[in-house]
């Protein structure tokens, strides 16, 4: 018993007091150094709440184009725009969705839609119905998508805005100028809608730069069917279809549809585009906005002032008027 009790005392007695003091100090220094090291590491760790979720970030400009090499080759001057606009901020996915595909073109290219806001009143902007011939409308759509992605505050709480970047990616891929006007079936997609449709029409005052068709029958084209189904399934209340160039603002409706006229007047009041539009004498058969008006949708065609400029500043004002317009 004695030897057991005295063993620790004897063992400690083997070590000098100073050695124990030095060991204890070294251990304390090591612990302190470890804690300081960890604290410094944490300064370089990203704070989780500041990392935007990839799913809710708007697509970079380079990804806005349909994923075909020839389309990407066509390119848009988005780099300078991205420099001018404030950076996109992370937004609630209930505000922003897109691009999502609502169908395919005759040539198998995706029709890309975006959604901004989630209010009960549904509105729609359509660009590129005339493809590469009106490429600046698609470039304007890209600019509006960038702006809307970064500025959720401009969409009123009661509005959902849909934006179709390009209804005619076939024509967009084929090239700019008249050669890019139709889809891959040679159809003018603004002549294919199932209202006042004609297989053929008097070309007086109309586009004649290249041969175009209205399709084999009303809504014969996959682009028309996809957008028509989208509009009807979402109960769209008002829409803008962008064109170029120069003829002005056309209210949809034959006979005249008062909500379209009121929307056209509201847009005309904040733009320099001609209104009433310039009358070339052309009979616009089977077009989107006349069909929309026949379905109770306030609809206008807006023609940009030429085939190259997007008139972004002016159309940003149009966007705000459109979002706040009351039927």
Q: How far apart are CA 227 and CA 153, in angstroms?
A: 27
Which C-beta is closer to Zn ion: that of 36 or that of 209?
Answer: 209
Distances (CA, A) of 289 to 53, 61, 130, 249, 264: 38, 29, 14, 12, 12
Minimum gap (Å) between residue 207 Cβ and Zn ion: 8
Minimum gap (Å) between residue 326 Cβ and Zn ion: 28
Minimum gap (Å) between residue 155 Cβ and Zn ion: 26
| End-to-end CA, the chain | 102
Which C-beta is closer to Zn ion: that of 134 or that of 170?
Answer: 134
Which C-beta is closer to Zn ion: that of 189 or that of 263?
Answer: 189
| Token digits of residue 262 | 């009121």
Which C-beta is closer to Zn ion: that of 57 or that of 282?
Answer: 282
Minimum gap (Å) between residue 58 Cβ and Zn ion: 27
Closest listed residue to residue 102, CA positions, set 167, 181, 42, 46: 167
Candidates 123, 130, 165, 305: give the one binding Zn ion (CB under 5 A).
Answer: 130
Residues 240 and 303 sit within 8 Å (Cβ to Cβ): no
Residues 132 and 184 sit within 8 Å (Cβ to Cβ): no
Binders of Zn ion in range 238-267 (CB under 5 A): 243
Minimum gap (Å) between residue 302 Cβ and Zn ion: 10
Minimum gap (Å) between residue 133 Cβ and Zn ion: 7
Minimum gap (Å) between residue 288 Cβ and Zn ion: 10
Q: Build a one-symbol-per-residue string for 214-243: x at contacts with Zn ion by CB under 5 A, - elsewhere.
A: -----------------------------x
DSSP letter string, 93-159? TTTEEEEEEEEE-TTS-EEEEEEE---SEEEEEE--TTGGGGHHHHHHHHHHHHHHHH-GGGS-TTE
Which C-beta is closer to Zn ion: that of 163 or that of 167?
Answer: 167
Tell me if 181 contacts Zn ion by CB under 5 A.
Answer: no
- Measured at CB, which residue is nearest to Zn ion? 243
Query: By three-state DSSP, how is residue 169 classified?
Result: helix
Tell me if 305 contacts Zn ion by CB under 5 A.
Answer: no
Which C-beta is closer to Zn ion: that of 118 or that of 137?
Answer: 137
Size of residue set near Zn ion by CB under 5 A = 3
Closest listed residue to residue 91, CA positions, set 151, 171, 170: 151
Specify burial of residue 261 (Cβ count, 10 A radius: 0-12, 13-18, 19+).
middle
Query: Applying CB under 5 A, which residues contact Zn ion?
Result: 130, 134, 243
């Amino acid at each position: 018993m004695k030897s057991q009790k005295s063993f620790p005392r004897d063992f400690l007695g083997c070590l000098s007091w100073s050695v124990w003091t030095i060991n204890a100090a070294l251990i304390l220094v090591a612990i302190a150094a470890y804690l300081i090291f960890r604290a410094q590491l944490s300064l370089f760790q990203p704070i989780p709440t500041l990392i935007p979720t990839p799913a809710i970030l708007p697509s970079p400009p380079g990804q806005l184009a349909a994923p075909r090499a020839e389309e990407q080759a066509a390119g848009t001057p988005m780099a300078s725009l991205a420099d001018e606009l404030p950076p996109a901020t992370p937004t609630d996915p209930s505000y922003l969705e897109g691009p999502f595909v609502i169908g395919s073109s005759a040539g198998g290219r995706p029709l890309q839609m975006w959604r901004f806001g989630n209010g009960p009143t549904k509105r729609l902007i359509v660009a590129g119905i005339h493809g590469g011939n009106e490429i600046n409308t698609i470039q304007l759509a890209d600019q509006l998508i960038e702006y809307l992605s970064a500025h959720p505050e401009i969409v009123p709480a009661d509005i959902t805005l849909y934006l179709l970047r390009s209804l005619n990616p076939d024509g967009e891929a084929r090239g700019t100028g008249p050669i890019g006007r139709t889809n891959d079936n040679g159809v003018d997609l603004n002549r294919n809608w199932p209202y006042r449709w004609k297989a053929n029409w008097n070309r007086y005052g109309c586009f004649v730069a290249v041969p175009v068709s209205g399709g084999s029958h009303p809504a014969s084209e996959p682009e028309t069917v996809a957008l028509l189904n989208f509009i009807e399934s979402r109960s769209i209340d008002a829409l803008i279809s962008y064109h170029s160039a120069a003829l002005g603002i056309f209210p949809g409706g034959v006979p005249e549809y008062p909500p379209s006229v009121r929307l056209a007047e509201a847009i005309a009041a904040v733009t320099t585009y001609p209104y009433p539009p310039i009358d070339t004498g052309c009979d616009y058969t089977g077009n989107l906005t006349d069909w929309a008006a026949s379905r109770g949708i306030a609809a206008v065609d807006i023609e940009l002032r030429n085939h190259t400029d997007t008139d972004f500043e002016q159309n940003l004002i149009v966007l705000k008027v459109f979002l706040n317009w009351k039927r």
